[in-house]
């Protein structure tokens, strides 16, 4: 249904002082702090986890060498969604508006809606990251304590005991990341890159990451996390995270959290000959998800 003059009554008469409600500032593309973006040319993308070899055994003198096998472990699929929104204006509403160009104002509102939808969809990967209803290629939630492996050893990218963000839980998270292993239970050199938090934790994070001394103690101890540069890119606030005490750590493990762009956002406009209505549309295609769960570590909070 087109926006008509009945919905724009105040904009059709003299004496209106201001129009407001569509000029709010927007948060930047916060998904870029979490996801690695790649382009796609297909309806979906698949990424396969490969298993290497286990530890090499000792070979006895004159004995035959032992052969090991490599294999595909599991597959992650990224199915692109089409996101679109449109509006229409009647010819009369455009003609009789006294204060502004309707099309430019509502086109900005359209862009705002598209941008916020993308941020919500991106953040939902973490918002649902502990839920068994949202699983990855290995059949487990993004963050869990029992990721299955080819070596039949369950691995974890979640604190064994859920905890709020503090010095102890952050240090334990970094220790656990340093203990990451691959599909054959070989150690992985994984490093923390950045801490991802909701707005409610930004003050806690700043004290933990930026003060030279330990937080909440009278001891003259250094802040080891800061002094050792354990979280190389500091912390970022994501305003679309819904759990106020959950926190996440992005690691440098490749092929972790990914954002595929199938079709970049585009806008189009057309007029209808019979009605005179003008229609405006925005559309894009993309997907958010993850391949290797080792790209992230988290805690849902206590």
- The answer to whether residue 149 sits within a structural domain is yes
Residue 60 lies in a domain: no
- Cβ pair 271, 278 in contact under 8 A: yes
Structural domain boundaries enclosing 226? 32-51+74-299
CB 155 within 8 A of CB 212: no
Q: What's the pLDDT score for residue 17?
A: 34
Q: What tokens appear for 266 in the block? A: 């585009």
Asked if residue 66 is part of any domain, the answer here is no
Full-model pTM: 0.87
Which is more confident, 110 or 137? 137
Please give the structure tokens belonging to residue 78. 């990224």
Q: 3-state DSSP call for residue 119? A: helix
Task: Give alpha helix (H) positions in the chain.
Answer: 91-96, 102-127, 167-178, 202-210, 224-227
Total domains in the fold of the chain: 1
Q: What is the mean pLDDT of residues 14-36?
A: 67
Residue pLDDT, tens place only, 189-209 = 999 999 999 999 999 999 999
Are the CB atoms for 183 and 153 separated by under 8 Å? no
The CA–CA distances, whole Å, from 20 to 88, 114, 250 equal 20, 20, 39
Tokens of 175: 């220790």
Residue 286 confidence (pLDDT): 97
The pair of three-digit structure tokens given for residue 250, joined into one six-digit string: 């992005």
Banded model confidence at residue 2, pLDDT cuts 50, 70, 90: low
Q: Which two tokens stand for residue 282?
A: 């925005």
Instruction: List phi, psi (to 5°) of 155.
Output: -115, 160
The per-residue pLDDT for 193 is 97
Share of residues in the chain with pLDDT > 70 (%): 89
Flag whether pLDDT at 20 surpasses 90.
no
137 located within any domain: yes
Q: Is the dihedral of CA 152, 253, 125, 229 positive or negative?
A: positive
12 located within any domain: no
Rg, C-alpha atoms of the chain: 26
Share of the chain above pLDDT 90, in %: 69
CATH no. for residue 95? 3.90.1690
Please enumerate in sequence order all residues whose Cβ is within 8 A of that of 81, keeping only pairs 6 or more positions apart, or say none.
121, 285, 286, 287
Residue 185 lies in a domain: yes
DSSP 134: S
CB 277 within 8 A of CB 91: yes
Query: Sheet of 81-89: strands edge to edge?
Result: 36-39, 257-271, 278-290, 81-89
Distance CA 270, CA 21 (A): 26
Residue 3 lies in a domain: no
- Do 196 and 247 meet the contact criterion of CB atoms below 8 Å apart? yes
Flag whether pLDDT at 14 surpasses 70.
Answer: no
In DSSP notation, 156-205 reads -SB-SS---SSHHHHHHHHHHHHT-B-TTS-B----EEEEEE-GGGHHHH
Give domain status of residue 203, yes or no: yes
> Tokens for 215?
């937080």
Average pLDDT, the chain: 88
Note the pLDDT of residue 214.
Answer: 85
Which of these, 186, 179, 177, 302, lies nearest to 249 by C-alpha position? Answer: 177
pLDDT of 10 > 70? The answer is no
């Amino acid at each position: 249904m087109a926006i008509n003059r009945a919905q724009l009554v105040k904009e059709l008469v003299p004496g209106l002082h201001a129009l407001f409600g569509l000029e709010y500032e927007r948060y930047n593309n916060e998904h870029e702090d979490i996801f690695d973006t790649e382009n796609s040319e297909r309806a979906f993308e698949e990424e396969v986890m490969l298993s290497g070899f286990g530890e090499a055994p000792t070979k006895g003198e004159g004995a035959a060498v032992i052969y090991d096998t490599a294999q595909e472990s599991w597959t992650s699929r990224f199915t692109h969604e089409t996101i679109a929104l449109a509006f229409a204006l009647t010819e009369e509403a455009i003609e009789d508006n006294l204060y502004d160009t309707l099309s430019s104002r509502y086109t900005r509102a359209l862009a705002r809606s598209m941008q916020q939808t993308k941020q919500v969809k991106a953040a939902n990967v973490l918002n649902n990251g502990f839920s068994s209803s949202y699983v990855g290629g290995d059949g487990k939630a993004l963050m869990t304590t029992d990721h299955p492996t080819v070596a039949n050893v369950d691995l974890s990218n979640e604190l064994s005991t859920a905890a709020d963000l503090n010095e102890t839980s952050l240090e334990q998270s970094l220790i656990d990341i340093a203990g990451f292993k691959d599909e054959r239970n070989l150690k992985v050199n994984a490093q923390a890159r950045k801490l991802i938090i909701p707005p409610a934790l930004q003050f806690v994070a700043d004290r933990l990451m930026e003060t030279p001394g330990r937080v909440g103690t009278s001891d003259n101890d250094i802040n080891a996390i800061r002094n050792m540069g354990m979280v190389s890119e500091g912390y970022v606030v994501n305003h679309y995270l819904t759990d106020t005490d959950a926190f996440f750590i992005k690691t440098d493990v490749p092929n972790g959290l990914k954002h595929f762009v199938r079709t970049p956002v585009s806008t189009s406009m057309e007029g209808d000959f019979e009605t005179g209505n003008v229609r405006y549309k925005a559309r894009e295609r993309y997907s958010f998800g993850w391949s290797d769960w080792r790209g992230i570590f988290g805690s849902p909070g206590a």
